[in-house]
Amino acid sequence: MKFVVDQQVEDIEMPENLKLNTFLQEFHSDCTHPECGFGFYGFAFGQSPFPVPRLIQEALIKNVNKGEYAAVPGIPELRNAISKYNKHYFGMDVSPDRIYVGPGTKELIFNLLEILHGTVILPTPAWLGYLPQIRFLKKNYHMLPTRANKKIAPNDLRRLALRLQDRQKILILNNPHNPTGLLYNRLELEEIADVCRELNITVISDEIYAQTTYDFSKFVSMGKIYPEGTFVTNGLSKSHAAGGYRLGYVILPQHATDLRTQFKKILATEYTAVSTPIQHAAVPGFEISHEMDEYFEITRNIHKIMGEYTYHRLTSIDGIKATKPEATFYLLADFNAYAPELQKAKIRTSQKLSESLIVHPYHTAIVGGDSLVLERTDFSARIAYVDYDGAAVYQNYQENRPKTHSERTEFVTKNAPKIVSGLDMIEKFFGSLKKDAVDELMLIKNNLKIPN
Amino acid sequence: MKFVVDQQVEDIEMPENLKLNTFLQEFHSDCTHPECGFGFYGFAFGQSPFPVPRLIQEALIKNVNKGEYAAVPGIPELRNAISKYNKHYFGMDVSPDRIYVGPGTKELIFNLLEILHGTVILPTPAWLGYLPQIRFLKKNYHMLPTRANKKIAPNDLRRLALRLQDRQKILILNNPHNPTGLLYNRLELEEIADVCRELNITVISDEIYAQTTYDFSKFVSMGKIYPEGTFVTNGLSKSHAAGGYRLGYVILPQHATDLRTQFKKILATEYTAVSTPIQHAAVPGFEISHEMDEYFEITRNIHKIMGEYTYHRLTSIDGIKATKPEATFYLLADFNAYAPELQKAKIRTSQKLSESLIVHPYHTAIVGGDSLVLERTDFSARIAYVDYDGAAVYQNYQENRPKTHSERTEFVTKNAPKIVSGLDMIEKFFGSLKKDAVDELMLIKNNLKIPN
């Protein structure tokens, strides 16, 4: 029997990280070199390597008997805890009835794109998950490429929004930002909010990395700057190292009472509620405690150390540029200075660059630029610096916190050898590209000499 | 700020069970009668009252540390277990790569309606969850009202399908059936499958109640009769009393290899995967064991006893008809014989009937006919017979299995006093309706006499 598949489904692409996963598995079973037993240097997957916080694990153990359906927006204990969490960490007064819990922030963003009529403005580079959702939902959308600083330019936003005919415009703001690791400061957010107020732009502010901000005092939520027009999303996945638990939340805008009812209908129609035991488990993850506070501090410090090392190593390679991460566990590396050499080696797209880096002897997995909603020929890539044993590194950090620059370097060398080796491989790859190009040049020169 | 909500979201209605929940909560805090402290007689909620099986709870405890994202279609152990479960209980050979796990059967049905182009055929009465999904997805659909036996008539299906222009038609089959509790036998399924083959109709066979079939040997899956055109959905919610865990699965049709890739894209785009600890917990729930086997047997026997009692009590009330359940924990009661009296009491819709039964002194919650995709004026209702302490009743049943008819009646009286009292209330309500009508008739007669 032949099935007719919805055209929109046919047209969307598999999110790149999942495609890469499949590719790596296939590649890996194919590679016959004996030294490939170790796997590969993983800069591709955006997953926190730490253990799920003890308090969350224990709460889950206590609630395995909760077989009953939960209330659609989430259990009251959890909505209360999230409300207090937002007050304590982000300085926001959010009443629990503005908070809706969903099976992951991804699905909640999908639900927001379902409920909100209008055209989407997607700043680029962007997390690889938004575009398949936008396209699947047949929404009109426009890219908003960022400039050299990789942040939204308010004037560019204004110019684009003025051109759009739709009576509602939706800006997807991702702060802190995946893949650049950059953070918007208060002034930058205020300038964006001014444009949004002026032109009636609704904001989905994906703040899933908020808690990972290295200098935490610097994080400001768009929900605070533009409370009347912002949907803030956050969850357990990154800050609590529990992406597999699948629990996120959204804060609906202030005063949007009717919208709450409409939003509830979507959740009730699609999935009823989030797993009840998982909701109970999440409660202490959002409650204020010394233990969670220490967990957040240690994990963000480790991310910072790994990020600084990765940034410095990459940018010390001739010609390679990178964003300097202030949060998350990513940075955006820019290899475009090597475009001539890459072209010469018949590497004409960022996808091809990813593929060239994964093969022997490099074995290094990165997420190429076209998965980050950049031009196919933009040789940029997301570098995730999480390929280490999170539990061991957490303990090592607790026992002996590195203070100086050289202690931090030593910490990375000891605790994250695969990050170090992977960066060696990137250096080797671009070094040999250059060498090949120089050799070829010499060859041409020499060849030119022969007829003389 | 004013938000523009997608028109389709505005147009869908809140699934009735959730509306009722809100209504009951509001009503309950309003009722000032002292005897209302007990709550209400709950025939409305379709939730298994038993504890989550011990094996599942223990597996969840062992897997609380699984914070990592799972593979999109589900973890291999779980897909393997589900494959064996289908072989053992339903006699179906389903390779694990045809099985996709999702966060509840509801969401998987939503995903199927997303991926499958075409017109939906919805037999009525129907579970209250399908229609909001169909409408939200802007799908064309046609009702297929069943006849007196409340089952799909193959000729009616043929006639309807012949009229439909769409190149793909999707029949939603729900077997065993919510709200009637009826079971399709092999012959009935074969007749439906013949029409589906002839007219190229795709079937979504929602078999979430399969394992509750009272005489289990009688259950036949549509996946066995029509493997090339059927999507079978099932999950933990009903048979494993773990609706709150949110885990379902779909079996994709045989040979539909390309469809698997397309379906995976939807899951990856919308929600990545089901909660990893929950997936691990589900494994022993689908593995073959004496303990799970006993759990299924005991719970289905208890449902049967409660169902038989409810059926006999209801049908012994003058004029009330009901479907005789062979599975699930529901039956469909038919109060239409009281239409004249209900009209007289200004109860003109099934919604009004539900509201009249919930107020003092009846305090009885039922799901009215319009929530079951019946005419608003059809005085039918779904009666769920699960309002008892599942853990206690399970134990009492284990200790002393009732054998004879009178033992079974005594079992209900002792173990489910609220079901007994709720049925008393329904009897009282319709008794007084009749009495009021007779009184009024007498009054009219008497009044007529006066002028004489």
Residue with tokens 């129907």: B126
Residue range B342-358: mean pLDDT, rounded: 93
Mean pLDDT of B219-235: 98
In a domain, A130, yes or no: yes
pLDDT for residue B26 is more than 70? no
Of A288, A307, A322, the residue at which a domain comes to its end is A288
Nearest of B349, B332, B317, B322 to residue B43 by alpha carbon: B332
| Tokens standing for residue A127 | 């997390």
pLDDT tens-digit profile of B366-388?
988 888 999 999 999 999 999 99
Backbone φ and ψ for A53, nearest 5 degrees, come out as -50, 140
- Encode burial over B76-106: b for 16+ CB neighbours within 10 A, e otherwise: ebbbbbbbebbeebbebebebebbbbbbbbb
> B136: distance to nearest CA of chain A, Å?
8
Task: Based on the fold, state whether residues B272 and B303 are members of the same structural domain.
Answer: no
**Does the structure show a pLDDT above 70 at B25?**
no
Verify that A252 and A214 share a domain, yes or no: yes
- Residue A61 is assigned to a structural domain of this protein: yes
Query: What number of residues does chain A have?
Result: 452
Q: Which of B58, B65, B228 sits opposite A1 (nearest CB)?
A: B228
Q: Is residue B353 packed enough to be buried (19+ CB in 10 Å), middle (13-18) or exposed (0-12)?
A: buried
| Contact list, A271 vs chain B (CB under 8 Å) | 103-104, 106-107, 110, 246
Q: Which residues of B touch A244 (CB under 8 A)?
A: 66-70, 273, 275-277
Regarding whether B357 and B328 lie in a shared domain, the answer is yes
ipTM (interface predicted TM): 0.94
The answer to whether residue A2 sits within a structural domain is no
Contact A264 B106 (CB under 8 A): no
Report how many Cβ contacts below 8 Å link chain A to chain B: 233
The SS3 call for residue B219 is coil
Q: Measured between CA atoms, how close is B442 to chain A, in angstroms?
A: 49
Q: State pLDDT tens for residues A273-324.
A: 999 999 999 999 999 999 999 999 999 999 999 999 999 999 999 999 999 9
For B244, the closest of A12, A70, A72 (CB atoms) is: A70
> Among residues A272, A288, A304, which one ends one of the domains?
A288
pLDDT value at A451 more than 50: no
Among B16, B275, B371, pick the best mutation site for testing chain A contact (most A Cβ within 10 A): B275
B365 assigned to some structural domain: yes
Q: Which domain holds residue A113?
A: 54-288
Question: B317: distance to nearest CA of chain A, Å?
Answer: 33
Same domain, yes or no, for B141 and B282? Answer: yes
Probe site for chain A from B272, B283, B389 (most A CB atoms < 10 A)? B272
- Determine whether the interchain pair B270/A110 forms a contact, defined as Cβ–Cβ distance below 8 Å: yes
- Give the closest of B68, B245, B264 to A275, CB-based: B245
Q: ω before B73 within 30° of 0 (cis)?
A: no
Which of A17, A13, A34, A32 has the alpha carbon at shortest distance from A354? Answer: A17
Among A6, A67, A110, select the one facing B52 at the smallest CB separation: A67
Note whether residue A71 is domain-resident. Answer: yes
pLDDT on residue A98? 97
Assign B451 a pLDDT band (cuts: 50, 70, 90).
very low
Q: Across the interface, do A262 and B68 touch by the CB < 8 Å criterion?
A: no
Same domain? B340 vs B266: no
| Residue in B14, B116, B264 nearest the CB of A265 | B14
End position of a domain, from candidates B288, B305, B340: B288
pLDDT at A108: 98
Q: Which residue of B has its CA nearest to A2?
A: B256
Gap from B31 CA to chain A (nearest CA, Å): 22
Instruction: State how far the Cα of B244 lies from the Cα of A269, in Å rounded to an integer.
Output: 16
Q: Do A258 and A122 share a structural domain?
A: yes
* CA distance to partner chain A, nearest, from residue B168 (Å): 7
Question: pLDDT band at B41, cuts 50/70/90?
Answer: confident
Distance separating alpha carbons of residues B266 and B111, to the nearest angstrom: 7
Q: Please report whether residue B450 resides in a domain.
A: no
The DSSP output letter for B252 is P
Q: Determine, for residues A168 and B47 on separate chains, whether the beta-carbon distance falls below 8 Å.
A: no
CB contact under 8 A, B271 and A246: yes
CATH number for A308: 3.90.1150.10
My answer on whether B155 and B280 are in the same domain is yes
- How distant is the Cα of A442 from the closest Cα of chain B, in angstroms? 49
Is residue A268 within 8 Å of B14, Cβ to Cβ? yes
Kindly state whether residue A92 falls inside one of the protein's structural domains.
yes
Together in a domain, A99 and A30? no
Looking at every residue in chain B, the average pLDDT score rounds to: 92
Q: Specify whether B280 is located in the same domain as B317.
A: no
Contacts with B7 from chain A: Cβ below 8 Å = 117
Query: What CATH number did the domain enclosing A178 receive?
Result: 3.40.640.10
Q: Are residues B141 and B31 part of one domain?
A: no
My answer on whether B222 and B102 are in the same domain is: yes
Give tens-digit pLDDT for A223-264.
Answer: 999 999 999 999 999 999 999 999 999 999 998 998 999 999
Do residue A297 and residue A384 come from a single domain? yes
Please count the structural domains in chain B. Answer: 2
Residue in A1, A114, A275 closest to B244 by CB? A275
Contact across the interface for A259 and B3, Cβ inside 8 Å: yes
Is B137 domain-assigned? yes
Neighbours of B343 (CB within 10 A): 13
Question: Residue A271 and residue B69: Cβ atoms within 8 Å?
Answer: no
Note whether A224 and A93 are within 8 A (CB). Answer: no
B142 DSSP β-pair partners: B121
